Amino acid sequence: MTALIIFICLVMLGIIVVQISRVREISAAMRGEEQASINSTNRNGLGLLVFMVVFLVGTVVSALYYKDSMLGYGPWESSSAHGGLIDSGIAITLFFTGIVFVATHILLFWFAYRYRKTKSPKADFISHDNKLEVIWTLIPAVVMTGLVVSGLDAWNTIMADVPDEAVIGQDYIEIEATGYQFAWDLRYPGADHLIGTKNFRMISATNPLGQDWTDAKNHDDIMPSEVVLPVGVPVRVRITSKDVLHNFYLPHFRVKMDAVPGMPTYFVFTPIVTTDSMRSRLSQYPDYQVPSDPEDPKSVPRWKAFNYELACAELCGTGHNSMRRIVRIVEKADYNVWLSEQPSVYLSTIRNTDDDPYKGQVVAAELALQKVELNTAMVNAMSAVDSVDRVVRLKNISYETGSANLTAVSSYELSNVVEILQQYPGIRVEIAGHTDNTGDPQSNMALSEARAQSVANYLTSNGISNSRFTAVKGYGSNREAASNDTEEGRAENRRTEFIVELPNKEEVPQQVL
Amino acid sequence: MSSVITRPQNEQAFIEEDGYEDHFHDHHHGDKYQSNFVTTYIFSMDHKMIAKQFLITGMFWAVIGAAMSLVFRLQLGFPAGDISWLEPFLGKWITISSSGVGSLSTEFYYAMVTMHGTILVFFVLTAGLSGTFSNLLIPLQVGARDMASPLLNMLSYWFFFLAGAVMFASLFLSTGPFSGGWTAYPPLSALPQASTGSAAGMTLWLVSLTLFVVSVLLGGINYVTTVLNLRTKGMSMWRLPLTIWAFFVTAIIGILSFPVLVSGFLLLMFDRGMGTSFYLSEIFIGGQALDHVGGSPLLYQHLFWFLGHPEVYIIVLPAMGIVSEVLAVNARKPIFGYKAMVYSILAIAFLSFIVWAHHMFMSGVNPFISNFFVIFTLIIAVPSAVKVFNWISTLYRGSIRFNSASLFAIGFVSMFISGGLTGIWLGNSSIDIQLHDTYFVVAHFHIVMGVAAFFGMYAGVYHWFPKMYGRFMNETLGQIHFWGTIISAYAIFWPMHYLGMAGVPRRYYSFANFDFTSQFGAMNAFITVAAFVAFSFQILMIVNFFYSMYKGKKMTTRNPYNATTLEWTTPIEGIHGNWPGKIPSVHRWAYDYGKFGEDAISQYVPVSEAEAEADKELVH
């Protein structure tokens, strides 16, 4: 009903305007066309002049008002190494186009006002002036040449791929972003710094990118939910799409590139401002002191809640505006820690399932991971004070059923143990064998001791002195690590452990990795 | 000073004496072309009637297209606002939440954005602008009885009508009209799985635009042929008014570029329906991997923009021609640098074909290739600048009459400057990295080819309305229309520059998901209000148009503006064949305003010996 009333009011208003206009035309005719036209000319001429002033002042004032969201200024300063080139290009272009904008508008409206028709009309017959034409062809041509040269110089610098001699993982890192309706999948190479191959026909519920698991490069690849990048390190983003066009857009870093199905694209950039330093920079601006959630006055201020963002900038369907990922720029050391904490997709979700082409076989990435894990566990045990924390389980050794004979695959873990013991010659360990509670406790005791002895024998035959062992013992099922009521618990109890003797202080390693 | 100009006493008698005899005989009781209602008003072959058909159809589409923009602006400006009152019109496209708040569905938002672009670019600013004024003015200003082929000309309109009918039908599909953006990039446009609008809506979109291209080509061939072959005696190319130069070059651009678009569409149809893979490769969508491999979406973009870029000049060149003419007539001065204006039109037309990839800097094309496109793109600024300086110089030392037409022409120059300058930003690929696909682009092209082209069109409508309907439009309403439009148009589009520089991407249904886009609620609300204000002023113009058609002040003299061009030598009531007897011969260029103290000298007036003598002194 209100809508109807508003509509009727608008229609009435329209009718009134039309009627008044009619009357004006008629009264103008009565007053005399001549005078009416002079009055109208004066009014419009003045109007154009006033419009010019208001418009030009308005553009400048509004630009100043919004300066904090303009490129290259204050909070919007670029956070990438190349961004400054773009921002200064914009500043130079703004300078030249600004001059032309103001000058031509002043001339246009001033001439319109100044040369409006008067009572004694007089127009000069000026048809052309070739000299003027040449001048105002040459001046824009020269300015354009300058803008083209500087612009292309920046463009070719920014768009250059990583140099041929650059070493991946050392001089730069490569990550992959895959757009789909409606999110980004992110993929990082693991320790090998190489992203594995993928094939869109292999995409499935468990394999969202279609990674080819027979490619060893895939085995350590990770898929984090955020873009985390080390500050100061060039990153080459490989950009692809699974379905329609998307665009990998990092507004704060001046990065934008289409994601094209079937044709990988790339963008190389170097983040130069960490998320933390960006936040402290933003804290200087009043705009960022307001609560981050306008609904909740108690929420943290905007600068504290600030995050760099990844968006989509190519229309891709109904969810186009929701393809957000947080981007975090961190110090290099923090990046390495973060990276080491990310689980490999293959090892955490595919390994030894039916999708795994290497099911039941040894995989290099897994061995590498086991080595890192063992190393970490040993180093942690060495630095631990409490005796319970000095226990390290040898997770990846196994024995033939009912026997103390080590399986062939155990040699990977044991050779890692040899390496570690040689690396830290000062430490000594007890080798402890355990079983579950099934079967005869006597024979369990004997088996556990025989198994511990097998490990000891392996180590001594590989150059570790007997003196490094404080004891080689079997505990049978006396020391439960888990309940023996379930199969999982019993499996957990069948184990071989090191108990690391507290070493001398100077032998404690400083850093875990 | 006694005038050196010898003016014929009686215009009509002089034309009968001096004019060109083409043995045209007007049938006083109607002729085979317009003997009854159907042949006069519907399947008319008279260029003046066809022009009116193009104009009124264009106006219909302009209202639809603009109304669509209001619908999606409501969503952007007032995302939390209740628009359940639109449910009677939009039905299921309005989703009502449990608390009774109606909002626009995402699918329909994108459908509206897409249709707004398609309709405005093709149906309004191509057909409505170039179709109207090329048809109306080419025969009248070159001194021809009609178009070279009135039949093809009629077909041109009816193919346009058919294209419109198909597009209109697509609005009512249950899956909605096409919603993948007016550029219709595959794979989004190729795969119904990717978007509901890419189902039947896209099929109709392709059919409609293919019909539209047929219309443009039929019209274009006619315009070019008429300008080249049917100019009256004495009307050399260098004596053509700038309107005709603009329409002529526009038609050539259209003929050369639209077929490329159709080829792109054809391949897209194959990909959609026949299992080919021109644009598709390695796609996993809707839970399955498609068989398509080996194609490239970039191929479509190349084909599309090979039309798409010239298209913006197809839109803006006619407006430039109209503005040149209207400014000269109302400043009572020759257009400054007539030849420079012609050469700059030709330069712009040539360059328009070698800059298309500047729409594709960030599409994954080899960055090296972009170097060439940057160079050619920024070169366009030079002829464009020449045109602006010439328009401004035309006003210098003139005696300017402010009426609706000339105000819109001045407004056009302002818009063209404002929007053209930001083209220098976007054409520079390094700057485009950041600004591409943001609101900065939206601001740029709306000002330079949307608002500016509309201003040119309005200047033309107000100026030549008497030639179409024998009456004048209401001046007061026209001036209210001008002031309301220029202020509200800048209010809509100027703030979008700031949005774009803040990185806000275009074609977002909501700005709430991102921190960097969510801070401009007040600005978006302001833009939406300005859009509604602008729209209401356009309604005022339409009211004025139809009101004046029947009740406007009558035209009492043939040449109310005291203009020089030939259309003002025809009878007030437009007749088939345009001139009752002979066609006037032409003896001079179109811009003898203020020459030797004469206010205006029409093109049919011969150059006397005295004037020829005086001319020699004038030049040096």
Cα Rg, chain B, nearest whole Å: 25
> Is 70 exceeded by the pLDDT of residue A502?
no
CA dist., res. A236 & res. B65, Å (int): 43
Least confident stretch, B25-39, B80-94, B421-435: B25-39
Task: Check residues B554 and A481 and name the one with the higher pLDDT.
Answer: B554
Give the ranges where B470-505 is alpha helix by DSSP (H). 475-501
- Cis peptide leading into residue A189 (ω within 30°): no
CA distances from B614 to A134, B196, B591, B611, B617 (A): 27, 71, 17, 5, 5
B304 class by beta-carbon count within 10 Å (0-12 exposed, 13-18 middle, 19+ buried)? buried
CA-based torsion, A489, A490, A493, A495: positive or negative? negative
Q: What is residue A423's predicted lDDT score, i.e. its pLDDT? A: 87
- Nearest-angstrom CA–CA distance, B588 and B61: 39
Give pLDDT, residue A512.
42
Q: Which of A219, A244, A248 is nearest to A347 (CA)?
A: A219
pLDDT tens per residue across span A297-356:
888 999 999 999 999 999 999 999 999 999 999 999 999 999 989 999 999 999 989 999
Question: A262: which chain B residues are within 8 Å (Cβ-Cβ)?
Answer: 280-283, 293-297
Residue B141 at interface with chain A, using a CB cutoff of 8 Å: no
Q: Do A321 and B511 touch (CB under 8 A)?
A: yes
Query: Chain B residue with minimal CA distance to A75?
Result: B502
CATH code for the structural domain at A364-507? 3.30.1330.60
Contact A315 B337 (CB under 8 A): no
pLDDT, greater one: A402 or B505: B505
Taking a contact as any Cβ pair under 8 Å apart, which residues of chain B between 362 and 401 contact chain A? Answer: 362-364, 367-368, 370-371, 374-375, 378-379, 381-382, 385-386, 388-393, 395-401
Q: Mean pLDDT lowest for which of B96-105, B269-278, B468-477? A: B96-105
What architecture is the A173-350 domain classified under in CATH? Sandwich (2.60)
Quote the pLDDT of residue B1: 45
Q: Show contacts of B265-273: CB within 8 Å, 24+ apart.
A: B265/B206, B265/B209, B265/B210, B267/B299, B267/B300, B267/B303, B268/B184, B268/B186, B268/B189, B268/B190, B268/B206, B268/B300, B269/B206, B271/B186, B271/B190, B271/B295, B272/B190, B272/B202, B272/B203
Region B401-420 average pLDDT: 96
Between B100 and A433, residue with greater pLDDT:
A433
Q: How far apart are CA A293 and CA A330, in angstroms?
A: 25
Give me B26's structure tokens: 């007007």
The per-residue pLDDT for A28 is: 72
Determine what percent of chain B is predicted with pLDDT higher than 90. 84
Interface test with B, best of A76, A108, A279 (most B CBs within 10 A): A108
Residue B32, pLDDT above cutoff 70: no
Beta-carbon contacts below 8 Å between A and B: 367
> What are the pLDDT digits (tens) for A324-334?
999 999 999 99
pLDDT of residue A509: 55
pLDDT digits (tens, 9 = 90+) for B149-176: 999 999 999 999 999 999 999 999 999 9
Q: Quote the pLDDT of residue A344.
A: 92
Which phi and psi (to 5°) does residue A421 adopt? Answer: -65, -35
Share of chain A above pLDDT 90, in %: 56
- pLDDT for the residue numbered A503: 62
Instruction: Give dist(CA B295, CA B503) in Å, integer.
Output: 32
The answer to whether the Cβ–Cβ distance between B283 and A262 falls below 8 Å is: yes
Q: Can you list the positions of beta strands (E) in B48-155?
A: 94-96, 102-104
Domain boundaries of chain A, sorted by first residue: 1-31, 33-119, 173-350, 364-507
ipTM of the complex: 0.94
How far lies B416's CA from each of B385, B413, B458, in Å?
10, 5, 15
Indicate the range of B437-446, B540-549, B577-586 predicted with least confidence. B577-586
Least confident range from A214-218, A402-406, B126-130: namely A402-406
**What would the two tokens of residue A280 be?**
């402290």
Q: Quick one: angle between helices B106-118 and B200-229, nearest 10?
A: 10
> Which of B187, B398, B431 is facing A90, going by the closest CB pair?
B431
Q: At B267, which amino acid appears?
A: L
Averaged pLDDT score across all residues of chain B? 93
**B165 CA to centre of own chain:** 20
pLDDT grade for A200, boundaries at 50, 70 and 90:
very high
pLDDT at B74 over 50: yes
- Give yes or no for residue A145 having a pLDDT over 90: yes
pLDDT score recorded for residue A511:
46
Residue A249: φ, ψ to 5°: -125, 115
Q: Which residues of B, range 93-122, sit inside 8 Å of A by Cβ?
A: 106-107, 110
Q: Residue for token digits 């609620």?
A: B521
What is the radius of gyration, based on Cα positions, of chain A? 37
For residue A38, the chain B residue with the least C-alpha distance is B401
The pLDDT tens digits for B325-367 are 999 999 999 999 999 999 999 999 999 999 999 999 999 999 9
Q: What is the pLDDT of residue B235?
A: 95
Q: CA-CA distance, B397 to B56, in Å (whole number)?
A: 37
pLDDT category of residue B617 using cuts at 50, 70 and 90: confident
- pLDDT of the residue at B222: 95
Residues from chain A that touch B84, judged by Cβ atoms under 8 A, are none
Confidence of residue B619 (pLDDT cuts 50, 70, 90): low
Are A321 and B407 a contacting pair at CB < 8 A? Answer: no
Q: Give the whole-number percent of chain A exceeding pLDDT 70.
A: 97
Q: What is the pTM of this model?
A: 0.92
Alpha carbon distance A421, A378 (integer Å): 10
- Report whether pLDDT(B530) > 70: yes
CA distances from A396 to A66, B155, B209, B574 (A): 61, 82, 67, 98
| pLDDT bucket at B90, cuts 50 / 70 / 90 | confident
Of B584, B608, B594, the C-alpha closest to B562 is B594
Task: With beta carbons under 8 A apart, name residues in chain A contacting B599.
Answer: 121
Which residue in chain B is spatially nearest to A290 when comparing CA positions?
Answer: B519
Q: Is the distance from CB of A263 to CB of B298 less than 8 angstroms? A: yes
User: With an 8 Å Cβ cutoff, are B430 and A151 in contact?
Assistant: yes
Kindly report, residue by residue over B197-247, the tens digit of the pLDDT: 999 999 999 999 999 999 999 999 999 999 999 999 999 999 999 999 999
* B174, two tokens: 């249950």
Neighbour-count burial of A295, counting CB atoms closer than 10 A to its CB (0-12 exposed, 13-18 middle, 19+ buried): exposed
Contacts of A287 in chain B (CB under 8 A): 519
- What CATH number labels B11-282+289-619? 1.20.210.10
Task: Give the closest-approach CA distance of B497 to chain A in angstroms.
Answer: 9
Cβ-nearest to B362 among A51, A107, A258: A258
pLDDT of residue A513 exceeding 50: no
- Taking alpha carbons only, the member of A507, A82, A499 closest to residue B431 is A82
Whole-number Å distance between alpha carbons of B32 and B552? 31
Return the domain boundaries, chain B: 11-282+289-619
Q: So what's the pLDDT on residue A508?
A: 56
What pLDDT digit, counting tens, does each position of A249-294 carry? 999 999 999 999 999 999 999 999 999 999 999 999 988 898 888 8
Q: Does the distance separating the beta carbons of A125 and B596 come in below 8 Å?
A: yes
Per-residue pLDDT, B471? 95
Cβ atoms B196, B202 nearer than 8 A: no
The span from the CA of A461 to the CA of A465, in Å, is 9
